[in-house]
């Protein structure tokens, strides 16, 4: 998985001097940076929230707002809180620098720039930003399967739900559970059970590129399917079902593992919310279990025996 969606780190310079912006673009050309310019505090704050750059160069002396106040807004906004900010000033006012550093500024450079020093400080800030992103990402990854964990699922589902409801897009959810997993653990040991979980996670990861497979907890998994109606989600779920059913393990050739699946989309909900979407998929999964396992059930449909595909 990539630590950062953008291969080239982005630098946002908030400064009211066009000369400074031209200088930065010229002298930082070889630094492999995507450079963005804002002339005012208001424009800089808007761009910071939209771009989420890896580093911000912030002039203390802006025409419309003090740089210290801009820093305060950046640090109190959860979306921009972790972006390293390097204060820039031609002033000798030590108090402003101290206040900025106390408020969480990453560093300070004086005008006129020593370009070698500025480049080194920018590189340091970018490294710290990427490290923070990497650690945050690792905290959202399940240690056994390598899939996104429950915390990441909750966050990502809210994001996808907001996008789908705002723009009228489809959104489906697959909730799946390995059948008789406790018995498999008891009969063959937890190391083999872990192997089955890892292999099932690999199957889920081999699906469509835009889908988001996550470990929901224990032997239960969930897949978010953006821009996907229920009928397409059913097809995807049955592919997963067949794949795990056909899986074989050299050390236990007699073992066959199966899984049950519940599918729901926004159109099947009487009340549209993330909680109701998860609940609908969970009820469909329960129905699949009740009907004999190793099958896919769609939320809102009572008789779904025909949805089980023969292997």
Give the model's pLDDT for residue 238.
Answer: 97
In angstroms, the Cα distances linking 30 to 4, 25, 119, 168, 275 are 20, 9, 10, 43, 49
What is residue 292's DSSP assignment?
T
Give the model's pLDDT for residue 202.
Answer: 95
Do both 169 and 225 map to the same domain?
Answer: yes
pLDDT per residue, tens digit, the chain (311 aa), is: 333 445 789 999 999 999 999 999 999 988 989 999 999 999 999 999 999 999 999 998 888 888 889 999 999 998 899 899 999 887 666 776 787 788 888 898 888 888 999 999 999 999 988 888 888 778 889 989 999 999 999 999 999 999 999 999 999 999 999 999 999 999 999 999 999 999 999 999 998 889 999 999 999 999 999 999 999 999 999 999 999 999 999 999 999 999 999 999 999 888 889 999 999 999 999 999 999 999 999 998 764 444 444 33
User: Can you tell me the distance from the alpha carbon of 164 to that of 7, in angstroms, rounded to the nearest whole number?
Assistant: 27
The reply to whether 238 falls in a domain is yes
Do both 180 and 274 map to the same domain?
Answer: yes
Give the model's pLDDT for residue 307.
Answer: 46
Do both 154 and 130 map to the same domain?
Answer: no
Do both 131 and 156 map to the same domain?
Answer: no
Tell me the pTM.
0.63
Closest CA to 166 of 154, 176, 158: 158
CATH at residue 93: 3.40.50.2300
| Contact assessment for residue 22 and residue 15, using Cβ atoms and an 8 Å cutoff | no
- Its domain, for residue 105, covers 10-138
User: Domains in the chain: how many in total?
Assistant: 2
Beta-carbon contacts of 174 under 8 Å, excluding residues fewer than 6 positions away, are 222, 223, 225, 233, 236, 237, 240, 261, 262, 263, 281
Do both 154 and 134 map to the same domain?
Answer: no
Beta-carbon contacts of 116 under 8 Å, excluding residues fewer than 6 positions away, are none
Neighbours of 108 (CB within 10 A): 17
CATH at residue 297: 3.30.70.270
The reply to whether 143 falls in a domain is no
The reply to whether 271 falls in a domain is yes
Do both 296 and 174 map to the same domain?
Answer: yes
Give the model's pLDDT for residue 71.
Answer: 92
Final residue belonging to a domain, choices 138, 165, 199: 138
Do both 282 and 182 map to the same domain?
Answer: yes
The reply to whether 3 falls in a domain is no
């Amino acid at each position: 998985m990539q630590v950062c969606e953008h291969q080239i780190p982005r630098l946002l310079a908030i400064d009211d001097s066009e000369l400074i912006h031209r200088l930065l673009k010229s002298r930082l050309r070889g630094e492999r940076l995507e450079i963005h310019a804002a002339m005012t505090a208001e424009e800089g704050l808007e761009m910071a929230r939209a771009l989420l750059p890896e580093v911000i160069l912030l002039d203390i002396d802006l025409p419309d707002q003090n740089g210290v106040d801009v820093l305060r807004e950046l640090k109190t906004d959860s979306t921009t809180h972790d972006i390293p900010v390097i204060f820039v000033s031609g002033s000798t006012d030590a108090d402003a620098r101290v206040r900025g550093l106390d408020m969480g500024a990453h560093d300070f450079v004086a005008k006129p720039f020593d370009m070698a020093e500025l480049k080194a400080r920018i590189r340091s800030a970018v490294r710290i930003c990427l490290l923070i992103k990497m650690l945050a990402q690792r905290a959202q990854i399940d240690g056994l399967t390598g899939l996104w964990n429950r915390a990441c699922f909750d966050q990502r589902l809210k994001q996808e739900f907001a996008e789908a409801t705002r723009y009228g897009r489809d959104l489906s959810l697959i909730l799946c559970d390995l059948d008789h997993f406790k018995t498999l653990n008891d009969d063959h040991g937890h190391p083999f059970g872990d192997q089955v979980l890892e292999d099932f996670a690999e199957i889920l990861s081999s699906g469509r590129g835009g889908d988001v497979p996550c470990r929901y907890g224990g032997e239960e998994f969930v897949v978010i399917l953006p821009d996907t109606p229920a009928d397409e989600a059913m097809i995807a779920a049955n592919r997963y079902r067949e794949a795990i059913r056909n899986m074989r393990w050299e050390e236990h050739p007699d073992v066959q593992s199966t899984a049950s699946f519940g599918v729901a989309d926004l159109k099947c909900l009487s009340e549209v919310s993330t909680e109701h979407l998860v609940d609908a998929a969970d009820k469909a999964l329960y129905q699949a279990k009740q009907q004999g396992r190793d099958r896919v059930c769609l939320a809102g449909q009572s008789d779904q025996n025909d949805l089980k595909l023969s292997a």
